[in-house]
Amino acid sequence: MSGFDFNLSRRGLLKSGVALAGTAAIGGGLAPRPARAADTTLRVLLAGDPFYYAIEGLKDQFQQETGIKLAIEAISLEALQARLTSSFISNEPDADVISVDQMWLGQYLESKWIHPLNELIKADSDVNVEDYIPEVLYSMNTWRGQVGTLPVAAYGQMVLYRKDFVEKAGISVPEDGSWSWEQYLAAIQKMNGQDFDGHKMSGTVLAGQQPAPVVHMYSQLAASMGTRWFKDFPAGTPWDFQPTINSPENLAALKIFSELYKNAPAESVGYNWFDAGMRFAKGDVGMFYWWTPYAYLCKKDGYMSGKDSVVADKLGMARLPKGPGEQVVSLGGHSLGITANTANRDAAWQFVKWATSAKTQKAMGLYDKYGHQFSDFARKSLYSDPELLKIYPHLTAQLGDLERGNGKIVRPPCPVYTTLEGIYGLNLNKVLTGQLTPEACLSETSTFFETILKGNFLIPYQQASYDDTLDATKALLKSLA
């Protein structure tokens, strides 16, 4: 029997037990107490995108200006979702300012989880609300005539290409976006498989991972080609959520998308947002379109590494190709909201105002601890700022795309969006792996959409509708200025 012949080791064990207890005591001293309501420490919960590193780096400025201390926490999307669900079921968000996804804005406002900002903006003379890009506020921050959040990072989508390779392949990329998706595809097909700079080049790269990355990428192409998700939403009254994705426009778009995949590294079927970006930064991809942060992220060889990538000085940016109709660009990014039950509403508003102001946004763009890693300004004036243009020469084109932006058409913030995205993403991913034909994907997805929308009582829609248009947002901004 083992067991009782270990008096010697017993002492050792006891010792290590004591040592552990000792560390616990020290650890206990280190652990901060939860902030009390009376503290002027503001708790900010953000998604860990590049803008967070800039804000974290500049937070001392805010503290100096206002005397309010910041405790900023950045977490991954997965953790943010889990944290927010559990916080909101119990109606106890553990932060004063939170990052609110545009898809969830309506839900947060209607459940009174966040505080609407209309009155705060109106009462404050130095918000300068007219300097915001209206398309951004429309897409990301307004719901049923209320401003719920303010944008801290506004992403559009653009084409990124490797200049020296595109030149060598004899392709001219129109910076102003005067080309069609078919021409874009043809250029990629021409580049694919060529030898260049010691690489066997891929024409393009996709973000094929389900659910969100592939939907974020594909929905841009689809919307640009004229696809709409629903019969009448968000504009139009009454809202009608009858799915319209099984359409000829969407089929044409999906066929282009699966052609693009044939000219992309096969692994990109599993690529998420940054996998696609980092692949491009490695130098063996000719051209792709993606969220605008990749304009600076791709110049670095790793996330927040501070080191230049091989394409850093060869990166070209152009506006997106067009479909047959009017151009529609996907808008996304990050917005700040104030939790409804915060005890520090004034301080929270100070922070939201500070983080989204032109002055701070510019400082974020100039912050270069990890190299210059932020140019997704929500303020129109910064896109013509000479100092910023020197660092981010693509800003003019970026503003051009943002002003064609309509996030509510590309990914409509309908109440069950996340569930729909899950199914759409799964089936798009299956098209890339060859498990579904484009035709089958669209008809199956459409059927699923209908089942889910009916199951969630959205078809037929019986609640009050709101004719959500860009013009309505512009009028709202004017009334708040």
Q: How many helices (H) and strands (E) does the chain have?
A: 20, 14
Report the alpha-carbon distance of residue 469 to residue 448 in Å, rounded. 28
Q: How far is the CB of 285 from another protein (least distance, A)?
A: 11
Binding characters for another protein, 365-404, by CB under 8 A (x = yes):
----------------------------------------
**Which of 242, 418 has the CB closer to another protein?**
418
Q: Is 24 in the site for another protein (CB under 8 A)?
A: yes
Q: How far is the CB of 343 from another protein (least distance, A)?
A: 15
Q: Is 451 in the site for another protein (CB under 8 A)?
A: yes
Q: Is 40 in the site for another protein (CB under 8 A)?
A: no
**Helices marked H in 263-382:** 273-281, 294-297, 345-356, 358-366
Among 218-226, 320-328, 349-357, 415-423, the segment contacting another protein (CB under 8 A): 415-423
Q: Is 269 in the site for another protein (CB under 8 A)?
A: yes
Q: How far is the CB of 11 from another protein (least distance, A)?
A: 10
Q: Please compute, for residue 197, the number of CA atoms within 13 A of its CA located in the half-sphere on the CB side.
A: 18
Question: Under rule CB under 8 A, how many of the chain's residues touch another protein?
Answer: 103
Return the SS3 of 239: coil
Among 226-234, 242-250, 273-281, 403-411, the segment contacting another protein (CB under 8 A): 273-281
Q: Is 462 in the site for another protein (CB under 8 A)?
A: no
Among 61, 63, 88, 450, the residue binding another protein under the rule CB under 8 A is: 88
Q: Which of residues 194-233 bind another protein (CB under 8 A)?
A: 208-211
Binding characters for another protein, 106-125, by CB under 8 A (x = yes):
-x--xx-x------------
**Amino acid at site 43:** R
Q: Which of residues 68-87 bind another protein (CB under 8 A)?
A: 71, 73-79, 81-83, 85-86
> 350, 68 in Cβ contact below 8 A?
yes
> 187, 201 in Cβ contact below 8 A?
no
Q: Which of residues 300-329 bind another protein (CB under 8 A)?
A: 301-307
Q: How far is the CB of 346 from another protein (least distance, A)?
A: 21
Return the SS3 of 215: helix
Report the alpha-carbon distance of residue 239 to residue 235 in Å, rounded. 8
Q: Which of residues 420-439 bind another protein (CB under 8 A)?
A: 422, 426, 429-430, 432-433, 435
Q: Is 271 in the site for another protein (CB under 8 A)?
A: yes
Among 29, 170, 198, 386, the residue binding another protein under the rule CB under 8 A is: 29
Report the alpha-carbon distance of residue 375 to residue 366 in Å, rounded. 9
**Which of 288, 448 has the CB closer to another protein?**
448
Among 46-54, 170-178, 235-243, 353-361, the segment contacting another protein (CB under 8 A): 46-54
Report the alpha-carbon distance of residue 379 to residue 130 in Å, rounded. 9
Q: Is 30 in the site for another protein (CB under 8 A)?
A: yes
Report the alpha-carbon distance of residue 234 to residue 412 in Å, rounded. 7
Return the SS3 of 373: coil
In 3D, which of 127, 92, 124 has the Cα closest to residue 111? 92
**Which of 180, 418 has the CB closer to another protein?**
418
Beta strands at 69-75 and 332-338: parallel, antiparallel or unpaired: unpaired
> 297, 274 in Cβ contact below 8 A?
yes
Q: Is 95 in the site for another protein (CB under 8 A)?
A: yes
> 144, 106 in Cβ contact below 8 A?
yes
> 437, 431 in Cβ contact below 8 A?
yes
Q: Is 92 in the site for another protein (CB under 8 A)?
A: yes
